[in-house]
Amino acid sequence: QVQLVESGGGLVQPGGSLRLSCVASGSIFSINVMGWYRQAPGKQRELVATIISGGSTNYAYSVKGRFTISRDNAKNTVYLQMNSLKPEDTAKYYCNVAAAAMGAPYERYYWGQGTQVTVSS
């Protein structure tokens, strides 16, 4: 009922920047929390940042001060601005939203397909 399309990943040098975007579409009634997770090969998926509908944000300690999450409610879009990138930021980044589809009795989580971010010289 809800689909997520991610973009913005790529290859960058250490110290560089990228901006990830995630657009939600479909029969959406409401969207509550939007966020980003990442997973490197052989490692557990981890939370990077979240933002609620009112604008409150939280970040993983490892990215605080370097990454910024934001959203455009009119466009059902969430962004992740990534600055001062490090090799350890290399991972596949996944968009995640808590949303209620039109006609659904409850809210649930949806996942995007992921976009690869590689930080290397």
Q: Long-range contacts for 108-113 (Cβ within 8 Å, ≥24 apart)?
A: 110/2, 110/3, 110/4, 110/24, 111/4, 112/4, 112/5, 112/6, 112/22, 113/4, 113/6
Evaluated on CA atoms 111, 18, 33, 43, the torsion sign reads positive
Relative to beta strand 10-12, strand 115-119 is: parallel
Q: What is the mean pLDDT of residues 62-82?
A: 97
User: Given this model, what pLDDT does residue 1 score?
Assistant: 81
Decide if pLDDT at 88 tops 90.
Answer: yes
pLDDT tens across 48-66, in order?
999 999 999 999 999 999 9
Contacts of residue 56, defined as CB under 8 A and 6 or more positions apart, other chains included, come to none
